[in-house]
Structure 1
């Protein structure tokens, strides 16, 4: 945010808008998310082994594909853990915003893995139908699918209740234009959200496998196994749409959905001593952290600056994003340049 004084020579000053937490909440949130992801990764590994063994003895493609989904989840959990750790690295000269978007990239990679694997599984289901390779052991399939439903419910609970919470973290920084960023609006780390969607997809597929096992056991209709794989794999793809949409808007630096551009501009314009608001930009560094850049033309001298800061402290924008103000005072001739 740059505050422009039409009458003074160029100089820079830095003032706090409101007390900051120096990123402690974000770091704690990341560590909590990391612990949760490690927990579900261990659970996934245990169940993958059990499901591959069960699928082998049951000769069930549906169970094997479910195990494949779990394997992709395990890979995505590991990627997410690495992304969270990377995001905690301090900013550098080359990456002045830090590594916040490592989390977004990690979530994108995990979703891509799920899409690729699901496509492969759909092709395998079609191949099984074409080749009429349908023989399965319904009892083993039924037991394995039941265990799978239970495991996915447990993992979903761990992800949902183990990483929740709504927090705010305010970080400041600037150089000329100041950028204020924060406000945790999602409550959950984006990689935990992606992991939760993975688990929901696996739960859906496990339920489908369980239904297919019941159908095969009581009707003998073994075609239910590959059909189940095909149908529920398509559903899994649709469960990733919301995460992909959020990732797309972050990478495109779109105005965050939880913020009203016009409302923020009106709130800034309403501050005392502010004559005009120019070049307002709002974007997301990741799913939890919002950045703002704006040029404010304010009247008066340094007393006006102090009044402006006091007003900022008293004013709550309809989107709480201000963390630290960097005011660069410029002369009128510099504005025209």
Structure 2
């Protein structure tokens, strides 16, 4: 019952769960109507909804798993489960988009007759469902971009520190941001399906259906590429893109500490979407105070955004 308690206890989780139920129910409606009317546009939109449902379900479970404490087997905890699930979902979405484009080109060359008797009603219904999703998640999207948080989670306004850097960082909930972008892409896709249905019904333009499918596929890929890049960079332990300049400045500050001879084997990476881990090796002069240097170096990198830092110090002769 742990995941259920987690969903019921958090406002964001309740929103995701509610929209997951609505989205899943209407996905089956779109699949049934798409097969009956032979509309590729509607089927492609239903496929997008299918992967959105999978992403929502995995996101709910991942948010629960990520809260479990570290143990002897998972020393860092399981926060990367969210990153891995996001990467897998992104890869599948890109593949689905590519397959829909290929099928669309075939239908452009050989248009098929499409039944529009119930297609318009289903298309409009899908648009309404996606608008509900936008209403659900717009507040979280606005909140993520409109406030900053300090390290202890309190909301702050950005202030300039001693080194000219912001003392607090803009906190972005990548999970809610990704969900909002998916729903936004779905909404644009639903608009495309409605337009193509109207063109087929009143103008007889059968080519509008595969063109709509290409449009939806572009929306799928465009919405998922940032997630694919960010999750891949985290899994490959790249230096966090948003902190590169701060880390360069922090390294320069550490090198200026009295007694520091050199900084070696610097490793900085994202453990999860929000947690940054770092290690490096300090060479200091024989008479230098190790504790003072360690404290100063730790403070500099914590101000730069590193939450978990390991410093190895070695005294060397000049």
TM class, shorter-length: 0.7 to 0.9
Alignment of 1:157-168 (within 5 A): 157-162=135-140, 164-165=143-144, 166-168=148-150
> Hey, what does 1:141 align to over in structure 2?
119
> Distance between the aligned counterparts of 2:10 and 2:270, measured in 1?
21
> Distance between the aligned counterparts of 1:317 and 1:328, measured in 2?
16
> Distance between the aligned counterparts of 1:280 and 1:199, measured in 2?
40
Tell me whether 1:216 sits opposite 2:194 in the alignment. no
1:57 touches 1:140 (CA, 8 Å); kept in 2? no
Aligned length: 291
Q: Which has the higher mean CA deviation after the structures are superposed, 270-279 or 236-245?
A: 270-279
Alignment of 1:1-337 (within 5 A): 33-55=12-34, 58-129=37-108, 132-137=111-116, 140-162=118-140, 164-165=143-144, 166-169=148-151, 187-189=172-174, 191-259=175-243, 260=245, 261-298=247-284, 304-308=289-293, 311=296, 319-321=304-306, 323=307, 332=316
Alignment gaps of 5+ in structure 2: 1-5, 153-167
2:66 touches 2:81 (CA, 8 Å); kept in 1? yes
> Distance between the aligned counterparts of 2:135 and 2:128, measured in 1?
11
Q: Which has the higher mean CA deviation after the structures are superposed, 50-59 or 220-229?
A: 50-59
Shift of 1:312: 5.8
> Distance between the aligned counterparts of 2:274 and 2:206, measured in 1?
47
> Distance between the aligned counterparts of 1:325 and 1:119, measured in 2?
42
Residues 167 and 36 of structure 1, relative CA distance in 2, 3 Å threshold:
farther
Shift of 1:54: 4.4
> Hey, what does 1:12 align to over in structure 2?
none
Residues 315 and 293 of structure 1, relative CA distance in 2, 3 Å threshold:
closer
Query: TM-score, structure 2 length as denominator?
Result: 0.76
Query: TM-score, structure 1 length as denominator?
Result: 0.72
Residues 90 and 184 of structure 1, relative CA distance in 2, 3 Å threshold:
farther
> Distance between the aligned counterparts of 1:250 and 1:291, measured in 2?
11
Q: Deviations over 1:271-315 (max 9, x none)?
A: 45544322222111122111111223445779x345446646875
> Distance between the aligned counterparts of 1:249 and 1:313, measured in 2?
25
Provide the secondary structure at the position in 1 that maps to 2:242: coil
Shift of 1:246: 0.9
- Give the number of the structure with larger relative contact order, counting CA–CA contacts within 8 Å between residues 6 or more apart: 1
Alignment gaps of 5+ in structure 1: 1-26, 171-182
For the aligned residue pairs, the C-alpha RMSD in angstroms reads 3.5
Shift of 1:144: 2.5
